C-alpha cells in the first residue's frame, strides 16, 4: 500500500504544471539571485566533478538524478538507463529546483536513502507551494501553505545518507535523530528583506537561499576551531568540529593539516614531505574497497574506511618536533580538496579549483619562550 501511495503521489506531481526556476524571479528576485549562486543550482551539466563521477559509474544509468535532477519529467527513465540527461529539458537543467524543494509533502525515512514524497497537485489548478512562513502570501502563479516539515525534516530527504547496492555507506551527513533546524540555522541564515518583491506582509528578513557551504571561504572558516600548544618536544593540535555533521561527508573530498616550523626563514620540521596522506592523523577522508581491493569511486564498494571528526567532536593530535628556540615560526593550517588527489587516477578534471588546496583556517605564531 505504501509503495502504491508513493507512485500515485509521484505521478500526480509530474502531471501538474511545473514552475521553472526563472518564473520564480518575478516575485522573488532577491531569493532567485541567491539561489542562482548556490550549489543547489549546479547540475549534471554545470558541475564538472559530479558529471565525471556519474559518467564513470555508468554511461547509461543516471541514478544520481533522484537527488541531483529530482524534477525531471522522465526521472524513472534516467534512473533505469532508458534516457540520458538532456540540457534542453528545463525539468532537468533546473537541477535541485525551487519547485522541487517547495513541493515536498513529507520525507519517508528509508535504509538506503530517504525518499521525498511530493505533494499531490490538482491538475488544471495553480500549484501549491510549501514553506515555513506563517501566514504566507499567495500569488497568481501558486498558492502558499505552511508545512511543519520545513522546520524539522525537509533537508533529510537528500542530505541524510546514501548506501550503495552493496549496503556500504558512501555518504552520511545527518543521523536519524537530527532535524533540519540545525541545517537551516547555519546554511540558510537570516538575510535582510522580505521573501517577496512586493512584501505584502512587511517582513524585514528572509532565510538566505545561497545555501552557504564549503565553497564559501568565510563560511567554511566558521566550522572548525584550531588550538595549538607546545610542551618541550611535543606539538599538540586540538581540532574542534563545531558543525552538526561530520568533518567529511563527501567521498571525493579530503581535509588535512599542513604544519611548518621555520627557523631563520628555513623549514626545520613539517608534518609531511610530498603528500598530506603521509600524516595519517592529520588527513581526513573516506577510503573504499571492493572485495578487499582499493577503489576510488565508491558506487561498487563493499567496505568503507574513514578518518573523520564527528559532529561537535574534538581531537587532539600530537607531533614529535625539534626543541624550539625563541623566534621560531609555527604555521598550522587546515585545507580542503574538493576532489582529492586519488580522484585524478580515475577521472580527468579541467577545473583546477577542484583539486587545488583551499584554506579553511590557519594559525601562525612566533615561539617566544
The rounded percent of the chain whose pLDDT value lies above 70 is: 96
Q: What is the mean pLDDT of the chain?
A: 92
| Residue 20 pLDDT exceeds 60 | yes
Query: Any residues with CB less than 8 A from the CB of 260 and at least 6 apart, and which?
Result: 267, 269, 270, 329, 330, 331
How many CA atoms are closer than 13 Å to the CA of 346, on its beta-carbon side? 17
Which is more confident, 137 or 141?
A: 141
pLDDT of residue 135: 84
pLDDT of residue 13: 43
Tens of pLDDT, residues 201-248: 788 899 999 999 999 999 999 999 999 999 999 999 999 999 999 999
CA 142 centroid distance within chain: 29
Mean pLDDT check: name the lowest of 14-18, 124-128, 179-183, 304-308: 14-18
| Residue 4 pLDDT exceeds 50 | no
How many CA atoms are closer than 13 Å to the CA of 318, on its beta-carbon side? 4
Rounded mean pLDDT of 162-191? 93
3-state secondary structure (DSSP) of residue 39: coil
Query: Any residues with CB less than 8 A from the CB of 139 and at least 6 apart, and which?
Result: 27, 196
Are 43 and 95 a contacting pair, CB within 8 Å?
A: yes
**Gap between the Cα atoms of 263 and 323, Å rounded:** 11
Q: CB burial class (10 A; 0-12, 13-18, 19+) of residue 176? A: exposed
Rounded mean pLDDT of 18-30? 93
**Gap between the Cα atoms of 76 and 66, Å rounded:** 9
pLDDT of residue 16: 61
Between strands 234-241 and 314-320, the pairing is antiparallel
pLDDT of residue 137: 80
Residue 3 confidence class, pLDDT cut points 50, 70, 90:
very low
Residue 104 confidence class, pLDDT cut points 50, 70, 90:
very high
- Global pTM? 0.91
- Reported for 183-188, long-range contacts at CB under 8 A and 24+ positions apart, including other chains, are 183/155, 183/159, 183/244, 184/151, 184/155, 186/212, 186/243, 186/244, 187/211, 187/212, 187/213
pLDDT of residue 94: 96
Tens of pLDDT, residues 336-362: 999 999 999 999 999 999 999 999 999
Residue of 72, 77, 100, 99 whose CA lies nearest to 88: 72
Tens of pLDDT, residues 145-161: 999 999 889 999 999 99
pLDDT of residue 280: 97
Amino acid at each position: 500500500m505504501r509503495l502504491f501511495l508513493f507512485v500515485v503521489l509521484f505521478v500526480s506531481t509530474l502531471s501538474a504544471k511545473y514552475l521553472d526556476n526563472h518564473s520564480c524571479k518575478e516575485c522573488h528576485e532577491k531569493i532567485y539571485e541567491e539561489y542562482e549562486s548556490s550549489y543547489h543550482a549546479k547540475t549534471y551539466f554545470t558541475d564538472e566533478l559530479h558529471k565525471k563521477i556519474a559518467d564513470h559509474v555508468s554511461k547509461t544509468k543516471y541514478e544520481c538524478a533522484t537527488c541531483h535532477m529530482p524534477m525531471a519529467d522522465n526521472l524513472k527513465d534516467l534512473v533505469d538507463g532508458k534516457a540520458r540527461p538532456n540540457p534542453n529539458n528545463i525539468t532537468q537543467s533546473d537541477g535541485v529546483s525551487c519547485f522541487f524543494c517547495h513541493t515536498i509533502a513529507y520525507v519517508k525515512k528509508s535504509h538506503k536513502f530517504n525518499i521525498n514524497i511530493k505533494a499531490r497537485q490538482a491538475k488544471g489548478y495553480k500549484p501549491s507551494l510549501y514553506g515555513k512562513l506563517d501566514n504566507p502570501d499567495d500569488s497568481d502563479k501558486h498558492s502558499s501553505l505552511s508545512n511543519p516539515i520545513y522546520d524539522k525534516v525537509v533537508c533529510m530527504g537528500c542530505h541524510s545518507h546514501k548506501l550503495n547496492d552493496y549496503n556500504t555507506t558512501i555518504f552520511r551527513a545527518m543521523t536519524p535523530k537530527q532535524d533540519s533546524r540545525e541545517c537551516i540555522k547555519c546554511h540558510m541564515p537570516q538575510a535582510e528583506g522580505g521573501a517577496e518583491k512586493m512584501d505584502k506582509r512587511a517582513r524585514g528578513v528572509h532565510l538566505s537561499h545561497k545555501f552557504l557551504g564549503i565553497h564559501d571561504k568565510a563560511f567554511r572558516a566558521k566550522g572548525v576551531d584550531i588550538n595549538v600548544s607546545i610542551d618541550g618536544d611535543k606539538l599538540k593540535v586540538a581540532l574542534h568540529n563545531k558543525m552538526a555533521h561530520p568533518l567529511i561527508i563527501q567521498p571525493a573530498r579530503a581535509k588535512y593539516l599542513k604544519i611548518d616550523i621555520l627557523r631563520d626563514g628555513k623549514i626545520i620540521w613539517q608534518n609531511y614531505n610530498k603528500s598530506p596522506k603521509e600524516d595519517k592523523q592529520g588527513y581526513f577522508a573516506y577510503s573504499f574497497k571492493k572485495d578487499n581491493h582499493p577503489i576510488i569511486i565508491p558506487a561498487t564498494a563493499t567496505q568503507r574506511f574513514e578518518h573523520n571528526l564527528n559532529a561537535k567532536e574534538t581531537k587532539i593530535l600530537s607531533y614529535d618536533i625539534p626543541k624550539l628556540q625563541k623566534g621560531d615560526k609555527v604555521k598550522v593550517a587546515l585545507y580542503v580538496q574538493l576532489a582529492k588527489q586519488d580522484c585524478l587516477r580515475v577521472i580527468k578534471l579541467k577545473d583546477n579549483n577542484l583539486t587545488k588546496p583551499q584554506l579553511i583556517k590557519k594559525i601562525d605564531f612566533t615561539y617566544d619562550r
